[in-house]
Amino acid sequence: MTQAEIKLCSLLLQEHFGEIVEKIGVHLIRTGSQPLRVIAHDTGTSLDQVKKALCVLIQHNLVMYQVHKRGVVEYEAQCSRVLRMLRYPRYIYTAKTLYSDTGELIVEELLLNGKMTMSAVVKKVADRLTETMEDGKTMDYAEVSNTFVRLADTHFVQRCPWVPATENSDPGPPPPAPILVISEKDMYLVPKLSLIGKGKRRRSSDEDAAGEPKAKRPKHSTDNKEPIPDDGIYWQANLDRFHQHFRDQAIVSAVANRMDQIFRSLPVGYNISKQVLDQYLTLMADDPLEFVGKSGDSGGGMYVINLHKALGSLATATLESVVQERFGSRCARIFRLVLQKKHLEQKQVEDFAMIPAKEAKDMLYKMLSGNFISLQEIPKTPDHAPSRTFYLYTVNILSAARMLLHRCYKSIANLIERRQFETKENKRLLEKSQRVEAIIASMQATGAEEAQLQEIEEMITAPERQQLETLKRNVNKLDASEIQVDETIFLLESYIESTMKRQ
């Protein structure tokens, strides 16, 4: 765990859950697994606060616990899961793209709450959708439930492990911590619920007309209710499935960009003749990037996606782009040349790239000091004398990808800190703007005249309005930059993970 990753985890935990949770989470990231009382002692936090912080972290799958043989329960932070909080907007947007607004809100609720029952999600989402609809229109529970089932069928949401039922006759003492289990066949099994009803608005005229105190109405209504049918069955977002979708889309996009003109001539739909299909498959299989491979010739051959080579090509293209943006097109030419030739001496680099010796040497040193390329020594004699040693430049893609990933973590941390600074500097103005907006919304609800609304709006002066616009523009740029850097992080992490699995 690098310092850049720890700092980014700290910023994310503080932004999402506050200072106490951030303090406990970062302590576990730095120290590894620890029991409850040691955490409280080392952090100088009360046991009650540590328990609450651990509950929050466990609820969101950011901390796991394990019971040791001695009966001691130790808690361990999941740093990789903390870093995934960066990708929450992307998960939510993907759900919206695939399953419209309903899917978006289902995934958003699960990410915000960590774990929820299906019935609770359906009711909450139906209420939120109803509030955005026109007066008189409501969202049926059944419609939201159908979307939830589709998300489970495609594995974008999954069941959480649960405590297995034990027989009452068991005389043994209860374990120090519950042991959670789940079988693979049950992970996406949706309980059969007959959720009948519609979403409700926060302020309904029917409720106001009832004249009953709010505290009494829920209590009275729950007396005759049956137990919740899915009580104890909790669901969570399946981040690995989202990552699989991101990976597939990245590969499809890369192939489409490389063969753009070719794919434009494809017929609309899936009614492609076998002859045309064979031509396109052969074209992709013969491409030097080898995204698609072919094995055997029986029955026309077997075509497969070379996931590792595809991820390697995407990571290499990312490195090339960074080199070009940071050092210029000439350095990028040298970088691509070394990639292509595998190993080159300095004189060979000068000749192949057609760049003067002094400039080539300077560019190689820049990329070498930035860890984009490496220098390999091959001695002719055991004494490693410089005059009898070959010095070959090469690109270690895995090492360069790890270096760039580390820099991406630092970049995102800087972006978050800058966004927080911008917001803090304009805190007073933002609070004033929110108060004015609240007053205007309240007056509009009571049917205020346009002149009165205009007078309230003028409470924010022209320079203040311009300052707010500048702040909004800057924050939007920082948010967009975070998303773009995270896309690079995803590609690099996918490549590194794929490479480590093959070793």
Least confident of 57-61, 142-146, 177-181: 177-181
Numbers of helices and strands, H then E, in the chain: 21, 10
Contact 199, 126 (CB under 8 A): yes
Is 50 exceeded by the pLDDT of residue 340? yes
The tens digit of pLDDT for each residue in 227-247 reads: 667 778 899 999 999 999 999
Q: What percent of the chain has pLDDT over 70?
A: 90
Q: For residue 218, name the pLDDT band (cuts at 50, 70, 90).
A: very low
pLDDT over 80 (residue 331): yes
Q: How far apart are the first and last CA of the chain?
A: 21
Say if residue 343's pLDDT is above 80.
yes
Residues 6 or more apart in contact with residue 266 via CB below 8 angstroms: 272, 280
| b/e code 474-489 from CB counts within 10 Å (16+ = b) | eeeebeebbeebbbbb
* pLDDT for the residue 268: 66
The vertex-156 CA angle with 151 and 162, nearest 5°, equals 100
Per-residue model confidence (pLDDT) at position 226? 57
Main-chain phi, psi angles of 68, to 5 degrees? -85, 170
Helix or strand or coil: residue 199? coil
Residue 65: name the closest of 10, 98, 28 by CA: 28
Q: Given this model, what pLDDT does residue 166 score?
A: 64
Strands 73-77 and 157-159 turn out to be: unpaired
State pTM to two decimals: 0.85
Q: At 215, is the pLDDT very low, low, confident or very high (cuts 50, 70, 90)?
A: very low
Q: In the beta sheet, which residues pair with residue 379? A: 389
CB-based contacts of 17, cutoff 8 Å, min separation 6: 25, 53, 56, 57
Residue 148 confidence (pLDDT): 93
In the predicted structure, residue 467 carries a pLDDT above the cut 70: yes
Average pLDDT over residues 49-70: 90
22 has a pLDDT exceeding 80 = yes
**Residues 92-114: what's their mean pLDDT?**
94
Structure tokens given for 188: 């996406």
- Examine the pLDDT at 405 and tell me if it is beyond 50: yes
User: Of 441, 422, 439, which Cα lies nearest the Cα of 430?
Assistant: 422
Digit-coded pLDDT (tens) for 380-389 = 777 777 777 8
**pLDDT value, residue 68:** 81
Structure tokens given for 373? 């390329």
Banded model confidence at residue 459, pLDDT cuts 50, 70, 90: confident
Structure tokens at 120: 């609770």
pLDDT of 387 reads 74
- 443-465: average pLDDT: 80
**Backbone dihedral angles phi then psi of residue 12, each to the nearest 5 degrees:** -70, -45
Judge contact between 118 and 193, C-beta under 8 A.
Answer: yes
List Cβ neighbours of 289 (8 Å cut-off, separation of 6 or more): 258, 309, 310, 313
Task: Check residue 406 and give its pLDDT.
Answer: 94
- In the chain, the amino acid numbered 264 is R
Model pLDDT for residues 252-290, shown as the tens digit of each residue: 888 888 776 576 666 666 677 778 778 888 888 888 878
In terms of phi and psi (left: phi > 0; alpha: psi -120 to 50; beta: otherwise), the region of 232 is left
